Chains A and B, each alone.
Chain A
Amino acid sequence: MRYFAAAAEVAGREEETFAVDSATVGALQDDLVARYGSGMTRVLRNGSFLVDGVVVRDRARPLGRQVDVLPPFAGG
């Protein structure tokens, strides 16, 4: 897992490695919310969830080796 911006703030770290029981995107997202609370729910609502470099929105999709959580910014 790599966390960016608000995702890193909520997780309190920039990256970590862990094994998951169920290898779907939905299961991992539930696991992240369980670990890091409602802040992570907010991050996941708008942030992109990239599995091996592809943005995935379907919770049923299988996981890969690397997941990036990248929130969008609007500020200029």
Chain B
Amino acid sequence: MPAAPDPARFARQLVLPGLGLDGQGRIAAARVLVLGAGGLGSAVLPVLASGGVGTLGIVDDDVVELSNLHRQTLHTAADVGRRKVDSTAERLTPLATGTLRLHAVRFTKENARDIAADYDLVVDGSDNFETRYLANDTAVAAGIPLVWGAVSQFGGHVGAVIPGAGPDYRDLFPVQPDPSSVLSCAEGGVLPSVCGVIGSLMATEVLKILTGLGRPLSGRVTSYDGLSGRFREVEFRADTDAAERDAVEAVAGDAAPASVATSAPAAVPASAPAPPSASASTSASASASEEEPVTAQPDAGQPDEITARELDDLLTDGAPVQLVDVREPWEAEIASLPGSKLLPLGTLADRVDELDPATTVVVYCHHGARSDRARNLLRSAGLPVSHLQGGIDAWSRTVDPSLPRY
């Protein structure tokens, strides 16, 4: 790990509203895995490297070909025949302030989980459907965010997946297409600048998710058509029937979210990578995750979970309850329960002392996965705590239909 970079190097982004030293610290602590050092990788990687990402992993098993050079600007004519990860490393080293990790392998079912285990976020700039679906499934299983983008001819599209807080790639494209039925870059061609447009949008999503700025492209796809010069957006959500089935499963199986968290301790979306100065909190939340299976036995008197109706009754009765929202700020802006305190899951371990240990705590999130983990974390800190079954979405469906769903 190189010495901490000079803050002056990042002055023009440190000054951005809401970014600051804290945001830069998150970027510097982040470990980002980029799949593909091709056209999209050529746009994404230099920005993430020069922007200060702490650890940048690059997966590509290809060698540079002459026909790559018009759009894959990481590589030059002198690199033809070399491994793409090698020419990429040469190009990025002078730009990067963090560490580069090269994975000169194909991302496969066999190695995907192990490779992704060392990262906080996955960027999919691959060139085939098999890798695209595998990237999605791996990120969702690890509970880490995914930013994906794809190009064809004169256009492309980009989106983000925040596991537990929105739909994933399979909710948009449920069935993996037969590769022969969709044009590849080799068959249909691609305008080089389109890779730059889509790759830059992808890098923007990565920096937003790492710093918690803005609203990620979760549940939305931005589609770009170079010929018209127009961007359009498609909003989408999981099929309601499927979503309700998932919610029931999440409620039924306490073990499921716990095992996901155990396999990926750094799997907190948006605010996962803590600034270097707060490394103690990272290890604190990691150890809390590891303890989750043990904390399955409920505290005397305080149930593990509470339904939306039960919570409504409790609040209507005027019972003293500390309502804690463990989602991200952008989610709270869409909808939140009145009187709740916002403590995003990634910051919770650091901010436990903001809660009164003598008053019942009810934590909630979007669908109940993050609040389940927050409940375990707070319980191991000795607080009387339950979590809201099915999250704020269950509240919207059963108690207050006027509350927007997302």
A14 on the B face (CB < 8 A): yes
- What total of chain A residues lie within 8 Å of the partner, measured CB to CB? 23
A12 on the B face (CB < 8 A): no
A9 to B172, CA, bound (A): 21
0 or 1 for each of A18-49: is its CB under 8 Å from B? (1 = yes): 00000000000000000000000010011010
A70 on the B face (CB < 8 A): yes
Q: Which of B272-321 contact A (CB under 8 A)?
A: none
User: Hey, which chain A residues are within 8 Å of B110, CB to CB?
Assistant: none
Partner of A45 from B157, B181, B228 at Cβ < 8 Å: B181
Nearest to B239 among chain A residues (CB) is A54
0 or 1 for each of B18-39: is its CB under 8 Å from A? (1 = yes): 0000000000000000001011
B234 on the A face (CB < 8 A): yes
A73 touching B151 by the CB < 8 A rule?
A: yes
B150 touching A5 by the CB < 8 A rule?
A: no
Stretch at the interface among B99-107, B125-133, B259-267, B382-390: B125-133
User: Hey, which chain A residues are within 8 Å of B228, CB to CB?
Assistant: 14
A70 to B173, CA, bound (A): 9
User: Hey, which chain B residues are within 8 Å of A50, CB to CB?
Assistant: 234, 236
Q: Knowing A5-B152, A5-B155, A46-B177 touch, does A73 contact B182 (C-beta < 8 A)?
A: yes
B114 on the A face (CB < 8 A): no
B240 touching A74 by the CB < 8 A rule?
A: no
- Give the shortest distance, in Å, between B62 (CB) and chain A (any CB): 11
B40 touching A76 by the CB < 8 A rule?
A: yes
User: Hey, which chain A residues are within 8 Å of B124, CB to CB?
Assistant: 76
B181 touching A42 by the CB < 8 A rule?
A: yes
User: Hey, which chain B residues are within 8 Å of A5, CB to CB?
Assistant: 152, 155, 223, 225
B156 on the A face (CB < 8 A): yes
User: Hey, which chain A residues are within 8 Å of B6, CB to CB?
Assistant: none
Nearest to A70 among chain B residues (CB) is B234
User: Hey, which chain B residues are within 8 Å of A46, CB to CB?
Assistant: 177-178, 181-182
Q: Which of B184-209 contact A (CB under 8 A)?
A: 184-185, 188, 190
A71 to B292, CA, bound (A): 41
A54 touching B236 by the CB < 8 A rule?
A: yes
Nearest to A56 among chain B residues (CB) is B239
A12 to B155, CA, bound (A): 16
- Give the shortest distance, in Å, between A2 (CB) and chain B (any CB): 7
A75 to B71, CA, bound (A): 12
A2 touching B232 by the CB < 8 A rule?
A: yes
A56 to B172, CA, bound (A): 10
A72 touching B150 by the CB < 8 A rule?
A: yes
A4 touching B223 by the CB < 8 A rule?
A: yes
B82 on the A face (CB < 8 A): no
A57 to B239, CA, bound (A): 10
0 or 1 for each of B224-237: is its CB under 8 Å from A? (1 = yes): 01001010101111
A75 touching B221 by the CB < 8 A rule?
A: no
Q: Knowing A4-B223, A50-B234, A55-B236 touch, does A76 contact B177 (C-beta < 8 A)?
A: no
- A: which residues have CB within 8 A of B? 2, 4-5, 8, 14, 42, 45-46, 48, 50, 53-57, 68, 70-76
A and B contact pairs by CB, cutoff 8 A, 5 listed? A45-B181, A53-B237, A70-B223, A73-B157, A74-B126
- B: which residues have CB within 8 A of A? 36, 38-41, 124-129, 132, 149-152, 155-157, 171-175, 177-179, 181-185, 188, 190, 221, 223, 225, 228, 230, 232, 234-240
New A-B contacts (8) at CB < 8 Å, excluding given A4-B223, A14-B232, A76-B124: A4-B157, A5-B155, A14-B228, A54-B237, A70-B234, A72-B173, A74-B179, A76-B41
